[in-house]
Structure 1
Amino acid sequence: MTSHTDADLLALAAKLAEEAAELIRTIRARGFKTLTKSDASPVTEADHAAEALILKGLRAAVPDIPVIAEEEVAAGLQASATPAYWLVDPLDGTREFAAGRDDFTVNIGLVRNGRAYLGAMALPAYHQLYTGGIGQPAQRKDPTGTHTIHVRTPPAEGLSVLASRHYADDPRLASYLGARRVASIGNIGSAVKFARVAEGAVDLYPRLGPTMEWDTAAPHAIVEAAGGQITLLDGSPLVYGKADWKNPPFVCTGAL
């Protein structure tokens, strides 16, 4: 790339997310094996193939911006935060993917000075692509076209809440929701939950279990571009560049 404008970087991330999504759909259609990593989490051929595609594209186009990617870190690659870097989760929601469900994503986020700055997130099974960031509009591209998205004001009947499928029985959720007026609670996997907040389909996503920075950077930028926010439970910002890449519990909200 001869230009490093934010629009160019976001377009690059979007292109690679869509290409990775197509590759994941191809692998899913022909079948794959699921293995277990040292941390007991699942990994598939699709995770590795999508990551290889994304890393090649990012490093060829913008070699001056480092890339931190989930499977490289899992394989033992040591990396540390710099003023600007990419965070890549090539297949967020591997459990969902391996189980034949549709809620999994491709996440490519750019961090600047500890803040989620730009993000592209593909939802392969839905043929959707979400993009946005600081100074960039929040948009959803799908088979019907490209649409500007925005969080919604909760309806009078109460909040629509999405929570993790993996932590569906977590008693901390009821404690966190407390006396809030809640109309519905759903449980799905992966970063799809962020997309549904960003486009105004639901109002609240509390994440009380562990996540990693590559899980959240891309959707974080998109949610904020759509008018929402992601904060820690005490209201302080979720920041990036932590030594172990681990996020504390947080909450993703629309126009609350």
Structure 2
Amino acid sequence: MHYSSILPDVVKIADQASERVLHIYQSDFKVDYKADQSPITAADLASHEVIVQGLRSLTPDTPILSEEGASIPWEERKHWHRFWLIDPIDGTRDFTQRTGEFTVNIALIEDGEPVLGVVTAPALKEAFWGAKGEGAHRRDRTGKVLPIRVAEAKAKKRVVASKNHLNAETRAFIEKIGDHKLVQAGSSLKFCRIAEGRADLYPRLGPTCEWDTAAAHAVLAAAGGTVEMLEGEPLRYGKEDLLNPFFIASGK
């Protein structure tokens, strides 16, 4: 598959979902809670609906796994060599707290690897996308699109961390790095800040699911970065257990 042939359409789908999300974000929305007590709003469901409809039209034969439709059994999923992995809104807490740092995420997975990803930040009016072998790009709030690349290695690491999920294990890991600057960001934007050269390292020693990371992982990889488990192996997707192991995302 030539990723460049479908990437503009995937960006368009993400933009359409972002418009629906932003409309709800600017309204007096209601917050409900799932069985695991994670928040969900009408924006999550609206984004899911737009993305699934768009991807089914674009690639009718490619299966889709979404956070808001994750009940597909492993017996079916284990046969998927290529599938779409989406998080209609990553950072729902940022959404409900109105920080603006939530994202819409669409990834294409092939044999466990995220090979194409689109991340939009509707409230910040930013977008990031990338594909294997084709580089990564950022669209700023003025609509200008520029290629992005991870920064060259520096002695003082800029470590990006979660605003809502900075636990004791991650704090301890960061302290061991030595001289560093802490850069805070929400949702999958943490990967994107590394991809555009504004941060160098993102250690995540806490729970995430595959849909939380896949799209931004693809962007970072296309920009020259890596996402590895603590043992040094690449973070993979399409597992029976949808929880990610701990990982470290980094630039050069």
- For the aligned pair, the TM-score class normalised by the smaller chain equals over 0.9
Q: Which residue of 2 aligns with 1:51?
A: 48
Indicate the RMSD between aligned Cα atoms, in angstroms: 1.5
Find 1:247's aligned residue among 226, 236, 244: 244
- Mean alpha-carbon deviation: is it higher for 184-193 or for 12-21? 184-193
Q: Which residue of 2 aligns with 1:150?
A: 149
- Mean alpha-carbon deviation: is it higher for 98-107 or for 176-185? 176-185
What whole-Å deviation, never above 9, does each CA across 1:56-86 have from its counterpart, x for those lacking one? Answer: 010122111000011011xx44351400000
Find 1:160's aligned residue among 142, 158, 161: 158
Q: Which residue of 2 aligns with 1:234?
A: 231
Distance in 2, Cα, partners of 1:43 & 1:182 = 38
Aligned pairs (5 A) from 1:79-228: 80-81=77-78, 82-142=80-140, 143-156=142-155, 158-168=156-166, 170-228=167-225
In the TM superposition, residue 11 of structure 1 has moved relative to its aligned partner by: 1.8
Distance in 2, Cα, partners of 1:25 & 1:111 = 27
Which AA in structure 2 matches 1:145? K
Distance in 1, Cα, partners of 2:133 & 2:69 = 30
Distance in 1, Cα, partners of 2:179 & 2:49 = 42
Which AA in structure 2 matches 1:148? P
Contact 1:208 1:250 in 2 (8 A): yes
What whole-Å deviation, never above 9, does each CA across 1:163-182 have from its counterpart, x for those lacking one? Answer: 122222x2212432354233
Which AA in structure 2 matches 1:149? I
Sequence identity (%): 39
Find 1:71's aligned residue among 46, 56, 68: 68
In the TM superposition, residue 17 of structure 1 has moved relative to its aligned partner by: 0.8
Structure 1 unmatched runs, 5+? none
Distance in 1, Cα, partners of 2:205 & 2:162 = 9
Contact 2:90 2:187 in 1 (8 A): yes
Structure-2-length-normalised TM-score: 0.94
SS at match of 2:177: coil
Which AA in structure 1 matches 2:114? A
- Mean alpha-carbon deviation: is it higher for 158-167 or for 226-235? 158-167
Which AA in structure 2 matches 1:109? A
In the TM superposition, residue 220 of structure 1 has moved relative to its aligned partner by: 0.8
In the TM superposition, residue 94 of structure 1 has moved relative to its aligned partner by: 0.3
Contact 1:160 1:182 in 2 (8 A): no
In the TM superposition, residue 216 of structure 1 has moved relative to its aligned partner by: 1.1
Distance in 2, Cα, partners of 1:161 & 1:215 = 19
Which AA in structure 2 matches 1:185? L
Could you list the structure 1 runs, at least 4 aligned residues long, displaced by more than 3 angstroms after superposition.
Answer: 76-79
In the TM superposition, residue 203 of structure 1 has moved relative to its aligned partner by: 0.7
Distance in 2, Cα, partners of 1:110 & 1:144 = 24
Distance in 2, Cα, partners of 1:130 & 1:188 = 15
Distance in 2, Cα, partners of 1:171 & 1:199 = 27
Distance in 1, Cα, partners of 2:143 & 2:232 = 37
SS at match of 1:30: coil
Distance in 2, Cα, partners of 1:77 & 1:179 = 40
In the TM superposition, residue 29 of structure 1 has moved relative to its aligned partner by: 1.3
Q: How many residues of Structure 1 are paired with residues of Structure 2 in the alignment?
A: 248
Structure-1-length-normalised TM-score: 0.92
Structure 2 unmatched runs, 5+? none
Distance in 1, Cα, partners of 2:179 & 2:19 = 37
- Mean alpha-carbon deviation: is it higher for 205-214 or for 178-187? 178-187
Q: Which residue of 1 aligns with 2:29?
A: 32
Contact 1:161 1:182 in 2 (8 A): no
